[in-house]
Amino acid sequence: MKVVVLAGGYGNRLRPLTYTKPKPMLPLAGKPILEYIIKSAAAEGFNDVIVTTNYFREQIIGYFGNGSEFGVKLVYPEEEKPLGTAGSVKNSEKYLNETFAVIQGDNITEIKFKHLLNFHREKGGVATIALLPVDRPHQFGIAQLDPHNRVLRFKEKPRPEEFFSDFASVGLYILEPEVLDYIPSGIEHDFAKAVFPKLLSSGEKIFGYLASAFWVDIGVPENYIKAVRWVLSRLKDKRLAEDAEIRKASIKGPVEIGEGTKMESGAEITGPVVIGDGCVIRRNSKISANSVVGSDVMIGEEARVTGSLIYEETQISESSYLNHCIVAEKCKVGPRVEIDEMSMVGAGCEIGDSAKLRKGARIWPNMRIAQNSVVEDFVKH
């Protein structure tokens, strides 16, 4: 069975991070989100993967190539303009002459393709939608099922007065090729908003697969961090590269440290933590649980990093404090800077000495924040 991964979105809700990386290439503990999806498919024996791309297409192709390094065969249909979830699949029609799976390129899940496929074949419909019960149905497409799990109604992002179910679509489908006949060519079209309602009104059989496994859509910062923590929770021991230099530093709990990374005397790491290749962790600095430090990062003396994500080639100067925040690639964070929870700093920024970024602040790429500044909102210019 072929798997179509939808990886062409703009990731607007994750700006400023997605101004320099497409959403599926944002890192989860050192590897892009898309790599987890592709490897999950390969582990279940689904080695033929179609990746729909548009925004920063070249980054995705440059990283994954033909897929051989990841145990799959990859193709990337050309998509000149964004075509939506269904339009992107229609654009891949020449590859889809048998039952196939579709998954969003920003989903991290333990739902098994094989289980979904077996259920689909047992039921015999044209489409099967993976569903999970949720607390906030208005954020999702919801389905009403009959006692045999056939979908009776489907509504995308209903208003409160339109709620009829708490079973939400998680963006994972098994489809028959005839579904493509319901999708127009060359224009933007969406499964949840248009295709599924059209199939139902035409009398086609759609079934809902009730899943119970972990799933998260990383499209908003809170969920992105939730996905990172899920990956980190799977670390069970210490994995230190052979040439990593640990000089009287303290390491507690599950930790992964990459090649050539150096930790100076008095530095402390409390896992789960992942640190990439070529990093320098200065003396008396502290990196606490649920943090990820990308490759070629410098953490200055007596700096503290708690539950935060730091992308590659970034410098965090002495005595700075990062608290449950995200700092993108190639940034320079000055001494004594404080960055509060859910704040995000875009690529190439410079944060001046003693600046303070309050909860939820966002700094667009390549901005310069003056010393002693207090930022409480978005900085775009």
Same domain, yes or no: 286 and 180: no
- How high is the pLDDT of residue 137? 63
- How high is the pLDDT of residue 30? 87
Same domain, yes or no: 22 and 165: yes
- How high is the pLDDT of residue 151? 92
Where residue 117 sits, what CATH number does that domain have?
3.90.550.10
Where residue 253 sits, what CATH number does that domain have?
2.160.10.10
- Of the pLDDT bands very low, low, confident and very high (cuts 50, 70, 90), residue 338 is very high
Cis peptide before 32 (omega within 30 of 0): no
Inform me whether the pLDDT recorded for 287 exceeds 70. yes
> Which backbone phi and psi does 65 adopt, to 5 degrees?
55, -140
Q: Average the pLDDT over each of 219-223, 278-282, 354-358 and give the range with the smallest value.
A: 219-223
Inform me whether the pLDDT recorded for 219 exceeds 90. no
Same domain, yes or no: 115 and 240: no
> What is the tens place of the pLDDT at every residue in 50-82?
999 988 889 999 999 999 999 899 999 988 888
Length of the chain: 381
- How high is the pLDDT of residue 205? 95
- Of the pLDDT bands very low, low, confident and very high (cuts 50, 70, 90), residue 331 is very high
Cis peptide before 16 (omega within 30 of 0): yes
Specify the number of domains making up the chain: 2
Average pLDDT of the chain, as a whole number = 92
Same domain, yes or no: 270 and 207: no
Task: Give, in order, the Cα–Cα distances in Å from 344 to each of 22, 107, 241, 327, 360.
Answer: 16, 21, 30, 6, 7
Same domain, yes or no: 73 and 178: yes
Range of the domain at 188: 2-231
- How high is the pLDDT of residue 156? 80
- How high is the pLDDT of residue 193? 87
**What DSSP assignment string belongs to 252-300?**
ESSEEE-TT-EE-TT-EEESSEEE-TT-EE-TT-EE-TTEEE-TT-EE-
- As a whole number, mean pLDDT of residues 103-111 equals 89
